[in-house]
A and B are shown apart, each in its own frame.
Chain A
Amino acid sequence: MSELPKARIATASLAGCFGCHMAILDIDERLIELMQLVEVDRSPLTDKKRFTQRCDIGIIEGGCCNEENVHVLHDFRRNCDVLIALGQCAIMGGLPAMRNAIMHSDAPLRECLDEAYITGKYIRNTTHNVPNDPALPLLLDEVYPCSQVVEIDYQIPGCAPSGDIIFDTLSKLLTGKFRGFERDMIKFD
């Protein structure tokens, strides 16, 4: 009865590989400790697709490569007090951002799609079309880091971030003790 109310956490994977969500599981048995402090709202971990109520912390994996990513990110910003970019893709675009600076190309997105679906040597695409089903979200001209779309409060680096840095940061944030990362935990790979 005297227990503190649990903090609510939401997570989403945008233009990421789900590696950062897997990295959350690398917290291992400390997850039990963490679950004493939090309740998970909207997240692939709970399979909840919408916010059921306002959240204390939102965790974003991946940057924005299509319009749906942007909508989800705005939704998170609106519904979360603190927003965390988790991992290199969320922080700076990561691997998907490789398509932003294709050499000698004036239309890198077009060139990327052509190579992936039409002209690439090892492609077996019998339709010879770039997928264009109306259900597919429109791709953005570039892949954007989360911080270029909404305000981000904290960034946890790594590809994927270690279970240690995720646990350390979350548990310190939840208890109001976060004062920056331990230097030996900062890694961009």
Chain B
Amino acid sequence: MSGTKKETGFTFTIDGVEITAYAGQTIMEAADEAGVYIPRLCDHEGLRHQGSCRVCTVKAGGRSVAACTQPAAPGQAVENETPRLTKMRRDLVEMLFHEGNHLCPICEASGNCELQAMAYRLDMTEATRFPYLEPCRALDASHPDIALDTNRCISCGRCIRASQDVDGKGIFGYVGRGIHRRVAVNGENLADTDAEVTDHAISAEVCPVGCIIRKRVGFAVPIGEREFDHGLIGHDIEEKRK
């Protein structure tokens, strides 16, 4: 099985399902192609992998690794949806809720938000095990077409990579360290940068939560009729297997 050479690909398993991969593919890339969903937040199609949120953690070769950055290896038995890993992912998602100010009922991303959808998928009814940190975070509405509500930012860095690598602009970047690490704009306010609403970094698909807001479109689709109101996050990938 594992003896076959690069171009022809090799196989490994995820939760017992046989997956074909090619040299250089990450576990997640191979899984996506095969229709096996591995939860993720900081990874996004078309952007360089960062491996920071750890929601994609799987067990491979006896170690916990980030499926979005770990190359697939021939013959490996990868664990994905085990009760233990699911619980760990739920804990991570729960901590993200504690760390920011996530008031879903007043958030225009509600129903389209990947963090919230991940909570639904992981059976998190609400984060209540720890006190909320309730940080005081800035709202930047300076730009005519874009607003930033950093209360909801999960520091995934998707906007940073999109702006740098796709738009060639570098509007967003990390500042600070540890728990104080935040995403900031390259200027006093967003209006002082060359951000445009047509940037890939500003598009609806890049920010997984309700931090980067395109003004005047928020409620064009009503609550209850949004992306994750009709299907769990990841179902589009899982459907490939059927």
User: Which A residues are closer than 8 A to B by beta carbons?
Assistant: 88, 91-95, 97-98, 100-105, 142, 145, 147-148, 152, 155-157, 159, 180-181, 183-184, 186-189
- CB neighbours (8 Å) of A147 from chain B are 128
A25→B105 CA distance, assembly (Å) = 20
Nearest chain A residue, comparing its CB with the CB of B120? A186
Spot the interface stretch: B49-57, B61-69, B135-143.
Answer: B135-143
- Do A105 and B136 have beta carbons less than 8 Å apart? yes
- Do A188 and B105 have beta carbons less than 8 Å apart? yes
A93→B103 CA distance, assembly (Å) = 9
Listed residue (B101, B119, B132) with the most chain A CB atoms within 10 angstroms of its CB: B132
**Which residues 125-159 of B sit at the A interface, judged by CB distance below 8 A?**
125-128, 131-132, 134-139, 151
A157→B127 CA distance, assembly (Å) = 11
- CB neighbours (8 Å) of A142 from chain B are 134
Question: Is B111 on the interface with A (CB-CB < 8 A)?
Answer: yes
Nearest chain B residue, comparing its CB with the CB of A106? B136
Partner of A94, one of B103, B128, B131, B132: B103
A93→B101 CA distance, assembly (Å) = 11
- Do A183 and B121 have beta carbons less than 8 Å apart? yes
Interface size on B, residues (CB 8 A): 31
Partner of A189, one of B131, B151, B223, B232: B223
- CB neighbours (8 Å) of B229 from chain A are 187
Report 28 cross-chain contacts, Cβ distance below 8 Å, ordered by A residue: A88-B104, A91-B126, A92-B127, A92-B132, A93-B132, A95-B105, A95-B106, A98-B103, A100-B132, A101-B134, A103-B137, A103-B138, A103-B139, A104-B136, A105-B136, A148-B131, A152-B128, A155-B125, A159-B104, A183-B123, A186-B120, A187-B120, A188-B104, A188-B116, A188-B119, A188-B126, A189-B107, A189-B111
Interchain nearest-CB distance for A41 vs B (Å):
26
A185→B57 CA distance, assembly (Å) = 26
- Do A189 and B125 have beta carbons less than 8 Å apart? no
- Do B120 and A101 have beta carbons less than 8 Å apart? no
A94→B104 CA distance, assembly (Å) = 8
Question: With contacts A101-B136, A189-B111 known, what are 6 further pairs, Cβ within 8 A?
Answer: A94-B103, A97-B103, A155-B128, A156-B125, A187-B229, A188-B104
Partner of A180, one of B123, B139, B151: B123
Tell me whether A91 and B128 are in contact in the complex, defined as CB-CB below 8 angstroms, given that A102-B136, A183-B121, A186-B120 are known contacts.
yes
- CB neighbours (8 Å) of A180 from chain B are 123
A28→B195 CA distance, assembly (Å) = 49
